[in-house]
C-alpha cells in the first residue's frame, strides 16, 4: 500500500512538471537573488508566492522551525557569495516545530533544542513563541553574518506578513 501511495505522489510530480513545461514558462536566465529567506519547511509557506517574487529573486533556505543550524548558516554564507546582502527570517503561525518545542516532544532535539533556547521566559502562546523564535534567530544571524537581517511573521490563516524588527 505504501509503495502505491509513493508511486502516486511521484506520478503527480511528473504530471505537474509536464503541465509546467506545457505552459511555456518564463525561465530565469540567471540566479541572482536579492534577498535570502530562512523559513520553515511547512508546505503552507512559499516565499515566492508570499512576496510575489519571480524565480531567481530569492535564495530560500528551509527547514523545520526555521533553525539557523550549521547547514542553514553555510547556505546563507553561500547566498552572500551570490550577492545577497539582506536576509529575512520568516516564522509563521501554527508552527508545528515551535509547538513541539513548547510541549517538550522527544525525538526532535536538533529542531526543538534551538527553539527552546529562544523561548525561555516567553509566553507559552504558540503565536507569540513562534514570533519570539523568529526574532531571536534574526538576532543570531545578524551577529554571525554581518548583514541586515529582518525578522518577519507570516499569518497562515490571513496570508499577511508582519515585520517584527
Q: Say whether 112 sits in a helix, a strand or coil.
A: helix
Hunting for cell 525525538 — which residue is that?
107
Residue 42 assigned as binding residue: yes
Residue 69 assigned as binding residue: no
Residue 112: CB partners within 8 Å, gap ≥ 6?
A: 65, 97, 100, 101, 104, 105
* Whole-number Å distance between alpha carbons of 134 and 151: 6
Q: Say whether 62 sits in a helix, a strand or coil.
A: strand
Residue 165 assigned as binding residue: no
Residue 95 assigned as binding residue: yes
Q: Mark the binding-site residues for Zn(2+), compressed into ranges.
A: 40, 42, 92, 95
Q: Mark the binding-site residues, compressed into ranges.
A: 40, 42, 92, 95
Amino acid at each position: 500500500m505504501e509503495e502505491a501511495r509513493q508511486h502516486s505522489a511521484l506520478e503527480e510530480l511528473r504530471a505537474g512538471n509536464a503541465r509546467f513545461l506545457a505552459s511555456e514558462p518564463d525561465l530565469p536566465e540567471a540566479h541572482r537573488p536579492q534577498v535570502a529567506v530562512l523559513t520553515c519547511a511547512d508546505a503552507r509557506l512559499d516565499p515566492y508566492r508570499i512576496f510575489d517574487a519571480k524565480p531567481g529573486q530569492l535564495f530560500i533556505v528551509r527547514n523545520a522551525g526555521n533553525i539557523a543550524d550549521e547547514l542553514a548558516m553555510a547556505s546563507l554564507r553561500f547566498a552572500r557569495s551570490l550577492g545577497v546582502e539582506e536576509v529575512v527570517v520568516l516564522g509563521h503561525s501554527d508552527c508545528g516545530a515551535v509547538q513541539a518545542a513548547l510541549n517538550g516532544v522527544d525525538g526532535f532535539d536538533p529542531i526543538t533544542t534551538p527553539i527552546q533556547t529562544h523561548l525561555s521566559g516567553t509566553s507559552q502562546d504558540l503565536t507569540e513563541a513562534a514570533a519570539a523564535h523568529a526574532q531571536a534567530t534574526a538576532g543570531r544571524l545578524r551577529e554571525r553574518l554581518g548583514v541586515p537581517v529582518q525578522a518577519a511573521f507570516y499569518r497562515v490563516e490571513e496570508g499577511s506578513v508582519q515585520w517584527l524588527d
